[in-house]
Amino acid sequence: MKRLEEFFFEPNCGHNKLKSEKEKKQGCSKPKPGGASGGCAFDGAQIALVPISDALHLVHGPIPCAGNSWDNRGTRSSFSTNYRIGLTTDMSEMDVVHGGEKKLYRAIKEVVERYKPSAVFVYQTCVPAMIGDDVVSVCKKASEDLGVPIIPVESPGFVGSKNLGNKLAGDALFRYVIGTQEPEYTTDYDVNLLGEYNIAGELWQVKPLFKELGIRILACISGDVTYRQVACAHRARVNMVVCSKTMLNLARKMEEKYGIPYFEGSFYGIKDTSDALRNFARLLGSEELIERTERLIEREEKRIKEKLQPYIEKLRGKRVLINTGGVKSWSMVSQVQELGMVVVGTSGKKSTSGDKERMIELLGDEGKIVDDPNPKELVRMFKEYDVDLLMAGGRSKFVALKEGIPFLDTNQERIKPYAGYDGMLILAQELVRTLYSPVFKLYRRKAPWQSL
Amino acid sequence: MAELIRSSKACSVYPLKMSQPLGAVYAILGVKNSMPIMHGSQGCAAFAKTFLTRHFWENIPMQTTALSEIVTIMGGDENLHTALKNVIEKNKPEFVGVVSTGVSETRGDDTEGSIKMFRELYDEYSHTKIVFVSTPDYVGSFHEGYSKAVSSILRSLLRAPMKKSPNQINLLISYSMTAKDIDAIEELIKSFGFKPVIFPDMRSLDGQAKAFSSITKYGTDIRDIEMMPASTITIAIGESVREAGEYLEKKFMIPMFYYDSLIGLENFDSLISLLINLSGKEPPESVKRWRDRLLDAMVDSHFYLTGKKVVVAGEPDFLWGMANFLTKEMGAEVPLIVSPTYADGLENLPVGKVIIGDLEDILLHIDGSDIDLLIGNTNLRHIAKEIKAPHYRVGIPIFDRLGHFLKGYIGYEGTANLVFELANLLMERDEEASYHIPEHIKRR
Ligand code: SF4
């Protein structure tokens, strides 16, 4: 796993720039024994690749890796349902003693014959990595024998966090997939999105905008995408990195090898959506496109602001605490602020120094940056900051609900799309719905026997 | 006698199996003021935590020893000791259950020895009970993990025989029972004048308002577990706790009464007879009323269930009650059941085939016959879609329905609920089908 070191030297990762030499060697933050635990590298790799929907995703290892996680993401696809089939070699004790390579080969053969996929991604997990199963060679052989691309993803969980897993996935795509096929035709307006997972169909919220502008999304890595689209992704003119940290290294490598410029952005909120479109127009370098884009932005902003007005009246001044990771912790801040709400704090967890600068700028004096609060601290903050609503991932959902604080899921389990202009309206509607639900008042009501 | 088929596929497709550590953690969560620790890489615990959170809609206490690459290769006790220290100091549990995983077992850890060493090194933590359960991921399934944890907890917490307390009864609870089921059996046993010790008491995850806690707030009190040797009998419900019951029988001479399930009329009749004999009392009026209601419910529902083909999939404890009730009491046909793991006696169930395998195996073994109803966890929806059959959700995980843990399935009342729910699904389907216009009529 020598290659791993490379990932800790991401020159463009603001997080790494700030570290001392020694810290860099240690890599990104280590999980603490007996502390709250996040997902493993395998989890991260799966998140980034499973949305390649016409491929099969086969997990090599004992049951827990796939068994406890298959079909658990909110990514949606318009191409195929292959990606929702849970597949694993479910290694037994015998396989651990004798090695699992033969079983893996047989497993690949079985599923290729039965499901005829465009490709198979094979995920390496901890136990087979520890006993030395050579997944790369098995995939190579299977690929030659079966005539289908079989892509090894070396992502045993113990190498690190979910974020590292995202990067390993990007690496697998760069080494084995991108550039292996050619599109039927190309246009001057072909682009890729990197780090957009089409959770709850968010990609579909913004796709019509691209279509109207005549910009073709060659590949969305990875959300609602086919294997072939990813294989052709090297022909794009511009890459947009939707999640700043994890797909950055893929963007950088694609710039180096194929000369594709990239920018970082987000589709959360009116301003960010407009900025993203502007950046595309600018980098695609046509005056005519820039002009058309401005017109579209003007029209869309006007349209959505009118629609939002009645909601903003209900949301104005409500106090929100945001506890979500990475890029979302600032992109969601601006989104919520655009709705007239007050952000009393956001989490600096998994954020780069660049993320943090943006947060400080956005929050002003009122808001605090909090570092990965544990449940007890969260409860304390609800009271101290007089919080009306928590926006967070599923992990803190029940901390809020138990305290009678309305909650909005911003993670993969959400089923409403919040991206783009229309996503803003959906977000506003969801916020009003939960904030004005009568249940929270009743929740605080004393039981009959308590007033005796 | 059913045909027993072990799936010989190299690839498990639409997996049904859940890991051993997950089953062990489930049992540990049934102890009051407890915290499970998974001895493995961080991802194992994260997946397990998310999985159970989605099932219960509750925060699930769980920690990890967070073995990372270097530690994984080198071995050593440091991570385990740090995790134990952190958990005990921060969360102040009374009980910590350490479960191993594929990672720590492949590494060859002597976790039991390491916990002993921890005990010797840190006297200041001696008030917290620590129990180890060996659950490599590559052996068994949820069922075995649960079973091992229940036995391990008893073996390590129970010491000497005790003076009998004539009214106390041990109740060993299967993972297939819901909070409502546990309420029902507790109430019943109390109504006969006995004091039950319920273990594991999964009502710790039954949905509690205004009560965020980082460890379990409810569950079986450790002091009650320690009193178990004083009971006069043990009632064990579910194959997963049979071994624990046998242990109590051997070690403390407590006779065990074993039920593979308390779903259905006969099973419950037999339990009631036992309680009548033991107490010399009549059951309360409400129980008698519910028996009547159940009989009525079964008669009303038979129109929809008798003769229907039902496939059941799940961990073993879910299979016994369902298969027996559907076939022997409702006259349905169960052409096949699927279990992720073998358990003693599965092949004696009155079904066509017993498949040890995954959910895809249903598609491979129904041999083109029309299935009227599928019973199993949320993941079974993929198969239901494929064969266009109604799907009743029972099992773990259920993350596309709310409230399942507060529904009853056992006893007269619970069975009545179950039979109505099944019949309603089929009634809807039969009704719809009857409005279908045949092709030759359409063409006219
Ligand atoms: S940490 Fe390793 S064994 Fe655990 S879930 Fe992740 S890949 Fe699987």
Who contacts A196 (Cβ-Cβ below 8 Å, separation ≥6)?
A202, A203, A220, A221, A223, A242, A243, A267
Please state the rounded mean pLDDT for residues B208-220.
85
The pLDDT, as a whole number, for residue B84 is: 95
The pLDDT, as a whole number, for residue A24 is: 45
Q: What would the two tokens of residue B271 be?
A: 């339990």
**A65 part of contact set with chain B, CB < 8 Å:** yes
Q: B166, B265 in Cβ contact below 8 A?
A: no
Task: Report the share of chain B in percent with pLDDT over 70.
Answer: 98
Cα–Cα distance measured from residue A252 to residue A10, given in angstroms and rounded to the nearest whole number? 9
CB contact under 8 A, B382 and A85: yes
pTM: 0.93
Candidates A30, A96, A135, A158: which one to mutate for ligand 1, based on the most atoms within 8 Å of Cβ? Answer: A158
Mean of the per-residue pLDDT values of chain B: 94
Candidates A1, A86, A106; nearest CB to B10: A106
Asked whether the predicted pLDDT for residue B387 surpasses 50, the reply is: yes
DSSP codes, A387-447 = -SEEEE-GGGHHHHHHTT--EEE-STT--S---HHHHHHHHHHHHHHHHT-THHHHHHSPP
Ligand 1 within 6 A of CB of B38? no
Cα–Cα distance measured from residue B262 to residue B79, given in angstroms and rounded to the nearest whole number? 43
Cα–Cα distance measured from residue A130 to residue B72, given in angstroms and rounded to the nearest whole number? 8
> Residue A76 Cα, ligand 1 centroid: separation in angstroms?
25
In the three-class reduction of DSSP (H, G, I as helix; E, B as strand; rest coil), residue B233 is classed as: strand
Asked whether the predicted pLDDT for residue B42 surpasses 50, the reply is: yes
Q: Which of B186, B157, B160, B182 has the alpha carbon at shortest distance from B28?
A: B157
- E runs forming strands in B70-149: 95-100, 129-133
Rg (CA), chain A: 23
> Residue B43 Cα, ligand 1 centroid: separation in angstroms?
5
Residue nearest to atom 7 of ligand 1 (CA): A157
Cα–Cα distance measured from residue B292 to residue A148, given in angstroms and rounded to the nearest whole number? 62
How would you list the strands of the sheet with A319-323, edge to edge?
A368-370, A342-347, A319-323, A389-392, A407-409
Cα–Cα distance measured from residue A327 to residue B16, given in angstroms and rounded to the nearest whole number? 35
CB contact under 8 A, A35 and B51: no
Q: A41, A155 in Cβ contact below 8 A?
A: yes
Taking only the tens place, the pLDDT of each residue in B239-282 is: 999 999 999 999 999 999 999 999 999 999 999 999 999 999 99
> Residue A125 Cα, ligand 1 centroid: separation in angstroms?
6
In sequence order, the β-bridge partners of residue B303 are none
Which chain B residues are closer than 8 Å to A45 by Cβ? none
Ligand 1 within 6 A of CB of A340? no
Candidates B10, B73, B209; nearest CB to A107: B10
Who contacts A395 (Cβ-Cβ below 8 Å, separation ≥6)?
A36, B53
Q: B405, B388 in Cβ contact below 8 A?
A: no
In the three-class reduction of DSSP (H, G, I as helix; E, B as strand; rest coil), residue A140 is classed as: helix
Cα–Cα distance measured from residue A70 to residue A56, given in angstroms and rounded to the nearest whole number? 12
The ipTM assigned to this model is: 0.92
pLDDT level of residue B308 (50, 70, 90 thresholds): very high
Q: B380, B353 in Cβ contact below 8 A?
A: no
CB contact under 8 A, A62 and B102: yes
Give the amino acid at B45.
A
CB contact under 8 A, A126 and B72: yes
Of all residues in chain B, the one with the smallest CA distance to A35 is: B63
Who contacts B214 (Cβ-Cβ below 8 Å, separation ≥6)?
A374, A375, A376, B35, B59, B61, B90, B91
Please state the rounded mean pLDDT for residues B328-348.
96
Cα–Cα distance measured from residue A399 to residue A381, given in angstroms and rounded to the nearest whole number? 12
Q: Which atom of ligand 1 is nearest to the CA of A42?
A: 7
Work out the burial of residue A136: count CB atoms within 10 Å of its CB; fewer than 13 is exposed, 13-18 middle, 19 or more buried: middle
Of all residues in chain B, the one with the smallest CA distance to A89 is: B11
Of all residues in chain B, the one with the smallest CA distance to A399 is: B212
pLDDT level of residue B368 (50, 70, 90 thresholds): confident
Cα–Cα distance measured from residue A216 to residue B120, given in angstroms and rounded to the nearest whole number? 66
Q: How many CB atoms lie within 10 A of CB B120?
A: 7
pLDDT level of residue B161 (50, 70, 90 thresholds): confident
Distance of CA A71 to the CA centre of its chain: 16
Q: What would the two tokens of residue B162 be?
A: 């005790």
Taking only the tens place, the pLDDT of each residue in B70-100 is: 776 666 688 999 999 999 999 999 999 999 9
Q: Which of A360, A368, A165, A331 has the alpha carbon at shortest distance from A244?
A: A331
Q: A300, A316 in Cβ contact below 8 A?
A: no
Distance from CA of B341 to the nearest CA of A (A): 12
> Residue B105 Cα, ligand 1 centroid: separation in angstroms?
13
Rg (CA), chain B: 23
Residue nearest to atom 8 of ligand 1 (CA): A65
Which chain A residues are closer than 8 Å to B67 by Cβ? 158
- Better-predicted residue by pLDDT, B58 or B73: B58
Of the residues A63, A168, A409, the best mutation for testing chain B's interface (the one with the most B CB atoms within 10 Å of its CB) is A63
Taking only the tens of pLDDT, chain A with its 452 residues reads 444 455 544 444 444 444 444 444 444 456 678 765 688 999 999 999 999 999 999 999 999 999 888 887 778 888 888 999 999 999 999 999 999 999 999 999 999 999 999 999 999 999 999 999 999 999 999 999 999 999 999 999 999 988 899 999 999 999 999 999 999 999 999 999 999 999 889 999 999 999 999 999 999 998 999 999 999 999 999 999 996 677 899 999 999 999 999 999 999 999 999 999 999 999 998 899 999 999 999 999 999 999 999 999 999 999 999 887 655 666 788 889 999 999 998 876 655 666 666 667 777 766 677 776 788 888 888 988 999 999 988 778 888 998 999 999 887 667 789 999 999 999 999 999 999 999 999 888 888 888 66
The pLDDT, as a whole number, for residue A448 is: 84
**B206 part of contact set with chain A, CB < 8 Å:** no
Quickly list H helices, A18-125: 21-26, 41-49, 63-67, 93-98, 101-115
Ligand 1 within 6 A of CB of B100? no
In the three-class reduction of DSSP (H, G, I as helix; E, B as strand; rest coil), residue B326 is classed as: helix
Quickly list H helices, B214-305: 222-226, 242-252, 265-279, 285-305
Omega cis (within 30) before A222 = yes
Taking only the tens place, the pLDDT of each residue in B137-159 is: 999 999 999 999 999 999 999 98
Who contacts B224 (Cβ-Cβ below 8 Å, separation ≥6)?
B197, B199
Cα–Cα distance measured from residue A40 to residue B144, given in angstroms and rounded to the nearest whole number? 25
Ligand 1 within 6 A of CB of B330? no
Three-state SS for B341-406 is CCCCCHHHCCCCEEEECCCHHHHHHCCCCCCCEEEECHHHHHHHHHHCCCEEECCCCCCCCCCHHH
The pLDDT, as a whole number, for residue A22 is: 46
Candidates B19, B25, B41: which one to mutate for ligand 1, based on the most atoms within 8 Å of Cβ? Answer: B41
Give the amino acid at B79.
N
Residue nearest to atom 4 of ligand 1 (CA): B44
Q: Which atom of ligand 1 is nearest to the CA of A125?
A: 7
**B34 part of contact set with chain A, CB < 8 Å:** no
Reading phi first (left if > 0) and then psi (alpha if -120 to 50, else beta), residue B57 is in: left
Candidates B47, B79, B104: which one to mutate for ligand 1, based on the most atoms within 8 Å of Cβ? Answer: B47
Ligand 1 within 6 A of CB of B297? no
Least confident of A348-352, B215-219, B311-315: A348-352
Work out the burial of residue B123: count CB atoms within 10 Å of its CB; fewer than 13 is exposed, 13-18 middle, 19 or more buried: exposed
Distance of CA B103 to the CA centre of its chain: 25
